[in-house]
Structure 1
Amino acid sequence: MTALRPSCREDFEIAIICALPLEYNAVALLFDEFWDGDGDQFGRAASDDNAYKTGRIGKHSVVLALLPGMGKVSAAAAAASMRSSYVALRLVLLAGICGGAPYYNQDEILLGDVIISKTVIQYDFGRKYPDGFARKDKTEGNLSKHNKNIRTLLATFETDLGGDGLQKKTSHFLRQLQAKAGDHRTRYKYPGTAEDKLFESGYRHKHRISPACICSNCHGRTDPVCAGALASACNDLGCDERYLVKRNRLKTRRKLEQGGNNEAQDPAIYTGTIASGDTVMKSGEDRDRIFQKEGVIAFEMEGAGAWEEVPCIVVKGVCDYADCHKNKKWQDFAAAASASAVKAILERYIQTDKRRGVVVEEPPCHFLVPFGRNQSFVGRETILSKLRGRIWPGTNKDDCQRTAVEGLGGIGKTQIALEAVYRVHEEHPDCSIFWVPAVDVNTFENAYHDIGKHMKIKGINEKNADIKRLVKTALGDDSIGSWLLVIDNADDITLLFGVTRLSDYLPFSRKGSILFTTRNHEAAVKLIVQKSGIVPVPEMDRSEAFDLLRKGLNESQRSDTKSTERLLDFLAYLPLAIRQASAYMDKNQILTSEYLELCESEREDMIDLLGRDFDDPHRYKEIPNPVATTWLISFHHISRHNPLAAEYLKFISLLAEKDIPKSLLPTARKIKALEAIGTLKAYAFITQREGQDSFDMHRLVRLAMQNWLENKGLKSYVSSAIQRLDQAFPFPKHENRDMWMKYLPHAQAALEFREHLEGGMVDASLLFHVAESYYLLGQYQKAKQLHQQSLQLREKVLGKEHPSTLSSMNNLANMLSILGQDKEAEQMYYQTLQLREKVLGKEHPSTLDSMNNLGNMLSILGKDKEAKQMYYQTLQLKEKVLGKEHPSTLDGMNNLAGVLMDLGKYKEAEKMYCQTLQLMEKVLGKEHPSTLSSTNNLALMFRNIGKYEEAEQMHWQTLRLYEKVLGKDHPDTLTSMMNVAMILSKTGKYEEAEQIHWQTLQLREKVLEKYKAAEQIYRQILQLEEKVLGKDHPSTRRSQRNLDDCLRVKK
């Protein structure tokens, strides 16, 4: 493209005039260059007091002027002076802001729309009579017509083709202006539909309740309001939104805005009559009167002054509705819309031939991007908006801007960069764009060679040419114009900063900008990208992910909305995984529900799917597309750069994916561990939980790593992981609950890989600890299964008489007892006790625990006398061996008190319960589960002896503490709820009792696998309802059916 740079003022035929600095600022942003950076080159006439800026907009040389003040007089004087200096002007554009009429014919005018003058009238030009103002007739009040040149130009904009083209270009240049605004970009942000308020024309802007000012006397259109009201916003005055005018176009725009569609801000453009006057129009009723009489669609203050002096088009953005409810929030945006329309008009303006001037050759523009535009690209508008405000070369005039898009492999960084460069190409067609893949040295050098050939760099094709150096030097020359360089896949630290040091060949030019895509945060930092220039890319949100999937499938394949949503959740909203999934479904013509079933059925199937290749024209052919392979590349980078980080990644891939405590990681020197964790975070394989010392691992990364480990042989990795977990996992107790709760899901996840081991001591020990954890959580079936597995392993490895084996036997018997398998539990308790007496001796604490447990079993079986004898014997030994205040001794006291109560010895039982409770509170604290059990037992004691008031108070206290300490769905909490219900029924509070019974039942059915407890509660509810409601009541009959169903299931 060539541009004629003027040699003198006579070569300018286009000018832009602005009345306000904010209008001037917006127009200046759309100049492609200014020519007077080093001082004024063209001067001005002796009688001219105006100050000018000269430069280029597109192919046109343009002079820009700012008026010294608002109004017709100022505009007329400035225009006359401008004509004396620039005698060849053929088109002057008066750009800025105006008040708009609400309608144009049948169309609605909204704030931010643009009005172009077809004619201008002076609405305040007339005579003042005693009974009012009369404007002069139209012939005198209207200004002269445009010249033929301008009339022809405006006529094209009234055609469908010309009007649509002008509107699209205006929207395009508006986005360009917003991107170019840099630090001021928020100034030109679309204010939003919520700020676009049109009140009924007669609704006044005044204080609603203010007896101290004149607003209280304002009832008609001519009544004055106070100065404070005139200076206040509608929100401050409480202008009632019930008086807003409903508008369909605003509703449509709001839907676009809510959907994140950038088209919501696009201005409509109207050509019509503009009213110009020396006063600001601030009356909705006067506005409507002039609109209806004259057909006016905009009100401003300078057009009439400039119109008669120069060939002029008024181009104004609507910033308010010319009423008393003015809103300054729209002024900058409206000025930007006006400036954008001015540039769009100039693009269509045909300039006359020049007889003089110096032809300046513009540098050729290059567009070297290896992919076409991705028509399936969706969403990511927030990220693209950030990039648009940074990557255009003119954003930072003092530096070569560097920006990095970073995120996990497959997150869509390349596709975002691709869409960004196509948008830059649209908005800045004079900006060269180059694309360089940094996959390895060869791809980097080949891309540089292509750049050199297109730029016709001297020596680029010579045999021993230093290609990278030649291209770097060429791009560093400001004379080649503006450029954007994309360095894609800048991931490998060794490649960028090692022996090859590709980073040394990145060019510098103040007319240039570099955009990196990287999966490595460390690379972004080392490439001297400031923190503000690093743009992280998260997973897609749900709507974006759905849109991407929709692009690859027909409607019938995704008709099952629930399955589709579950599939996207399973794929973690990762774009590459979604593309891979849609390609597979499209190829095999299967539904989203069928693909989801494959993902969820077997881990091996999911891993196989992650490894399937697929065609994608917007990705490099040399690089495999599968998700699993994409991450394997990152893993190899990590292995070379930080081996400890690779070991950590192998380890945590065998754990659960969420909330991985740092304390679980294999031990290493503090600085090495810190760097390793930093590397994994830099590649986005793990993310730090905010405010916590734990991490989350990406679900699909975990699966891919498990696949890699399986191919390498899982045995050694699983063995190491379980060994580390066994070292870290404490014996579960109430006191260390927070720790083992954090470790539990990870131990359980690692144990799922036990099939790859032969079975040994380490996993038996971890199984035992995990089983005990589930016991404390009230998940007794899980605890039983794991204790069985632990017992089998210990018997196999250690033998039947080893103390650890006997611990597994004892705890398995505990689970059998809780789950109602009484005979099996009794037999195992006897067997364990005999072996412990033989191996450990009669007074060993573990032997005493077995004696205590056997006493519990005898009590459950109704053998109270035998139980009492066993408890006495156990308690005496515990006091002797452990001391009177040892927790195990206190448990023995609690159990003995219980059997005394069962035997009807209430006074002895009450005394022992009280003594036990006092000691437990002292030794263990009031909220320890053992203390709560003792409190509960004492409450039962009170209930049995008729102390209902004390029992009810104690049962409620215990329930609240159980809920706090163990949670609402723990079996012990449910038992406490049932006890509350029972004491309520004893005191005649039947409705409350029934309600709590039902709550308990619902939670029991949710938590417990066995029906024994459910049967017990159904019987209690049935008895209660028969007593209160009678046998024939519907609720009573329903409870009978529930009990019958429960008994059938038991059989």
Structure 2
Amino acid sequence: MGEQASDQLIQDLEQKHDLVRQRIQKFTEIANAEAVRLPLYCFFETKKTELLRRILSPRWAKTLATGVTHKILVTESSACLHGFHRQGLDATHSGMNKFAGPECPNFKLVKDVVRQLVRNASAVLTLRKNSPDERHWMVPFGRNREFVGREAILQDLLGRIPPSVDKDNCQRTAIEGLGGVGKTQIALEAAFRVGDAHPDCSVFWVPAVDATSFENAYRVIGQLLKVPGINEEKADVKALVKTALSCESTGSWLLVIDNADDIKLFGDMDLGDYLPFSRKGSILFTTRNHEVAVELVESERRIIPVEEMSRDEALELLQKGLKGDQIGDVASTDALLEFLCNLPLAIRQASAYMGKKQISTAQYLELCNSSDEDTIELLSRDFEDRHRYKDIQNPVATTWLISFQHISEHDPLAADYLRFMCFLAGKDIPQSVLPPSGRLKTIDALGTLKAYAFISQHKESDTYDIHPLVQISMLCWLAQSGEQGEWAAKVLQRLADVFPVPKHENREEWIGYLPHTQRALELRKGTEDGDALTGLLSRVGESFHQLGKYEDAERMHRQALKLSENVLGKEHPDTLTSMNNLALVLGSQGKEKVLGKEHPDTLASMNNLALVLDSQGKYEEAERIHRQALGLKEKVLGKEHPSTLTSMSNLACVLDSQEKYKEADRIHRQALGLKEKVLGKEHPSTLTSMNHLASVLRKQGKYEEADRIHRQALGLSEKVLGKVRRGILEQEIRVVCLRAGHIRLLFYSLFFILLYFLLIACHRKGLGGRVTI
């Protein structure tokens, strides 16, 4: 615009500058397109205008005129469109459409152009009519009127994918994200917007779900373009269409390749081998696989990641398919969207079910929270969606299963890692907890899972998160295939291998493992690998103990004790250690305050703790607790209760271990007398007390009395063993020895058992007589 233009005019144009520029650019693109081919000519002024002549008489204007008043009002750049013929006329701005007569040079120039347009009109119309690059629209879906949000992503796409964006290249762009995140719907909306804005641009849609769907779509493209030989039986359809689209005479096109998840779609030939190249073309991929996206577009900058919807977008999508009263409970609606992770496909699936069954978000959320089985059932239900492929099921779980099967075929270690991770807590999974398989293989496997968006890695950390709905789906697939128990055992064994003994020095390490171990223990479902599981339960219990979570610690230690008793036996050192751990937790938890000192559970815990202290050689502390337990049992249960008598024997054994023989002698005699009265002289526990007493007498040098009691015990044993299994007495003696730590007592007991068998042998051989010691 020249300097003498109206200030008001310039101001008005500046306010609409962007709009005017866009309109001119759009018109230029349409007119310049080969499918339209408008024969335009642009004329511009070359003679400066004298502005004073418009308001003064010619004489005064000429008198006052200076160089400043002579200017071009509309410059050549403003008057002409890029790419079209242009012609300057020797005229001022006001004289551009005025001619002095037939001989005027300007008139002759314009007349020649008009004659040329008339002469070429028929040929132009014929060319346009027969043009092979007429616009084609090959998209298998209608416009999704329920599409919401994603405006930032769409604007980014529309700035990249129209072929006119880069006239010197065939640009490639990829949309990547987790299955069900909405990639196809975004691509569909982008295709419609490109079609609206670029009427000369053909749009072709190719599903790359498998080789067959890809080739079928290419065949339709070839038929639309009238490619020679496309319908022949042995035609190389993919190669023919690639060649046709690569010809610039085909015109402007956008090729959408949906679900491009497998670069090896055609076996030996890569997907990229059949992609056309034309400066008038553009290719848009959708894929779940980041690695495929990088290989297809060759630059991270050409990849647009798609994540879950924002909360506002998710709510708007949910509202599209439901009535107001179904989403009236705001808290339940928000909770449901959080549970569904704002995932578009999951929201559409939930909305379809709620609409069909006429239930509210609160009721649907209740179904989701009832059990994992109900959740996976809901996620597995198919639903009608006209904007997805008819021959492919729509459910979220099915969508992910397809990806998992593909991973299993191409990267078995990645599939195993996914199975492993579904038993762990969903957040902050340390790489160190995964089964080791070599540094490079591990990186590759984790990279595969990240590429499919099943997991995400924390920045500058070897910890990962797994998508919660993927986790639930994975557990369901394992259960259906009968693999859940097997993998639960593998996970627990690995955790048992890596979970350290909890100490302050390694606090950060075991705290990192704790939530994952807790989750795996909850999902073990009958997995009872004794050694690994008992140790793991104990370490987890100790971890909770150190964190002050006494109820959780008690629960873990009780499980460890029960399992240890079943697998190893009640007297095994590991079982006694489990008793000790439980007793310590109960003490820290204040069970005596909760249940009372005289509660049976309290007394049992005291007894267990004292036994463990005894086995550890902590005799003084064991004695103190045994005395306390004995006193309480005499008060609560009575002096003649079997449990009271057991505590008396335990106390006497501890005194014996400390060489307090006189008091041990007294209490053993007291226990023996009460046992004979309550249980009878032939009861195994009575015989055990006799052996205890005899042992203490021998240690005091009272050999004759010790000898008499041992003989008496032997005689009664011979009599009892005829009535019950011989192993009872042996087991009872072994129990006592383990509890008291009396190696010598064990020796004497075994000696008398051997002596018993010797007597039997002599009797059978008829030797008769007596054997004395």
For this structure pair, what is the TM-score category when the shorter chain's length is used for normalisation? Answer: 0.5 to 0.7
**Contact 2:514/2:540 (8 A) holds in 1:** yes
Post-superposition CA distance 1:202-236 (Å, at most 9, x none): xxxxxxxxxxxxxxxxxxxxxxxxxxxxxxxxxxx
The 5-angstrom pairing of residues 703-852 of structure 1 reads 703-713=472-482, 714-758=484-528, 760-822=530-592, 823=597, 824-825=601-602, 827-835=604-612, 837-838=614-615, 840=616, 842=617
SS in 1 for 2:519: helix
Question: Which structure's CA Rg is the greater one?
Answer: 2
1:698 and 1:445 map into 2 onto residues whose CA distance is 33
Bigger share in strand: 1
Name the residue aligned to 1:30: 26
Shift of 1:730: 1.0
Alignment of 1:541 with 2:310, yes or no, is yes
SS in 1 for 2:426: coil
Post-superposition CA distance 1:736-793 (Å, at most 9, x none): 1111111111111111112242452222222212212221221111111111111100
1:771 and 1:64 map into 2 onto residues whose CA distance is 90
Tell me: CA distance 1:29–1:94, structure 2 relative to 1, closer, same or farther (3 Å): closer
What letter is aligned with 1:390?
A: R
Name the residue aligned to 2:451: 682
Tell me: CA distance 1:310–1:555, structure 2 relative to 1, closer, same or farther (3 Å): farther
Alignment of 1:670 with 2:439, yes or no, is yes
**Contact 1:563/1:592 (8 A) holds in 2:** yes
Shift of 1:797: 0.7
Shift of 1:598: 0.6
What letter is aligned with 1:697?
A: I
1:637 and 1:466 map into 2 onto residues whose CA distance is 26
**Contact 1:75/1:306 (8 A) holds in 2:** no
The 5-angstrom pairing of residues 213-228 of structure 1 reads none
1:70 and 1:626 map into 2 onto residues whose CA distance is 72
**Contact 1:759/1:793 (8 A) holds in 2:** no
SS in 2 for 1:513: strand
**Contact 1:406/1:537 (8 A) holds in 2:** yes
Tell me: CA distance 1:451–1:806, structure 2 relative to 1, closer, same or farther (3 Å): same
Tell me: CA distance 1:77–1:641, structure 2 relative to 1, closer, same or farther (3 Å): same
Shift of 1:603: 1.2
Consecutive unaligned residues of structure 2, counting only runs of 5 or more, are 1-12, 53-67, 82-90, 99-113, 633-650, 659-773
Alignment of 1:480 with 2:250, yes or no, is yes
2:303 and 2:584 map into 1 onto residues whose CA distance is 57
Name the residue aligned to 1:970: none
Shift of 1:601: 1.3
Tell me: CA distance 1:35–1:764, structure 2 relative to 1, closer, same or farther (3 Å): same
1:693 is aligned, of 462, 480, 492, to: 462
Alignment of 1:308 with 2:94, yes or no, is yes
Alignment of 1:526 with 2:295, yes or no, is yes
1:662 and 1:725 map into 2 onto residues whose CA distance is 12
Shift of 1:732: 1.5
What letter is aligned with 2:312?
A: S
1:394 and 1:691 map into 2 onto residues whose CA distance is 40
Consecutive unaligned residues of structure 1, counting only runs of 5 or more, are 1-17, 37-53, 87-91, 96-304, 313-350, 861-869, 878-1051
Moved more, 635-644 or 392-401: 392-401
Name the residue aligned to 2:341: 572
SS in 1 for 2:577: helix
Tell me: CA distance 1:416–1:694, structure 2 relative to 1, closer, same or farther (3 Å): same
1:490 and 1:759 map into 2 onto residues whose CA distance is 44
**Contact 2:42/2:79 (8 A) holds in 1:** no
Tell me: CA distance 1:798–1:737, structure 2 relative to 1, closer, same or farther (3 Å): same
SS in 1 for 2:297: coil
**Contact 2:411/2:448 (8 A) holds in 1:** yes
What letter is aligned with 1:399?
A: N
2:42 is aligned, of 29, 46, 63, to: 63
Name the residue aligned to 1:318: none
1:495 and 1:654 map into 2 onto residues whose CA distance is 32
What's the RMSD between the two structures over aligned residues?
3.9
1:510 is aligned, of 253, 263, 279, to: 279
2:205 is aligned, of 435, 440, 451, to: 435
If the length of structure 1 is used for normalisation, what is the TM-score? Answer: 0.50
**Contact 1:801/1:835 (8 A) holds in 2:** no
**Contact 2:263/2:270 (8 A) holds in 1:** no
If the length of structure 2 is used for normalisation, what is the TM-score? Answer: 0.68
Shift of 1:60: 6.7
Moved more, 773-782 or 664-673: 773-782
Shift of 1:691: 2.4
Name the residue aligned to 1:627: 396
Shift of 1:794: 0.7
1:853 and 1:712 map into 2 onto residues whose CA distance is 53
Post-superposition CA distance 1:939-978 (Å, at most 9, x none): xxxxxxxxxxxxxxxxxxxxxxxxxxxxxxxxxxxxxxxx
2:40 and 2:537 map into 1 onto residues whose CA distance is 81
What letter is aligned with 1:834?
A: L
2:377 and 2:118 map into 1 onto residues whose CA distance is 72
1:460 and 1:851 map into 2 onto residues whose CA distance is 97
What letter is aligned with 2:561?
A: L
Post-superposition CA distance 1:510-569 (Å, at most 9, x none): 110000000000111111331111000010000000011001111111111110010000
2:377 is aligned, of 605, 608, 622, to: 608
**Contact 1:80/1:310 (8 A) holds in 2:** no
SS in 2 for 1:30: helix
SS in 1 for 2:537: helix
SS in 2 for 1:356: helix
SS in 1 for 2:393: coil
Identity %: 50
What letter is aligned with 1:61?
A: L
**Contact 2:48/2:72 (8 A) holds in 1:** no
What letter is aligned with 2:303?
A: I
What letter is aligned with 1:355?
A: V
1:679 and 1:439 map into 2 onto residues whose CA distance is 19
Post-superposition CA distance 1:70-98 (Å, at most 9, x none): 9979998546897xxx9xxxxx9799xxx
Tell me: CA distance 1:464–1:849, structure 2 relative to 1, closer, same or farther (3 Å): farther
The 5-angstrom pairing of residues 1001-1012 of structure 1 reads none
Tell me: CA distance 1:80–1:666, structure 2 relative to 1, closer, same or farther (3 Å): closer
Name the residue aligned to 1:388: 158
Tell me: CA distance 1:831–1:758, structure 2 relative to 1, closer, same or farther (3 Å): closer
Post-superposition CA distance 1:373-402 (Å, at most 9, x none): 011100001111111011111212221100
1:76 and 1:311 map into 2 onto residues whose CA distance is 20
Tell me: CA distance 1:724–1:81, structure 2 relative to 1, closer, same or farther (3 Å): closer
**Contact 1:568/1:578 (8 A) holds in 2:** yes
Shift of 1:813: 1.3
Tell me: CA distance 1:815–1:394, structure 2 relative to 1, closer, same or farther (3 Å): same
Name the residue aligned to 2:221: 451
What letter is aligned with 1:793?
A: L
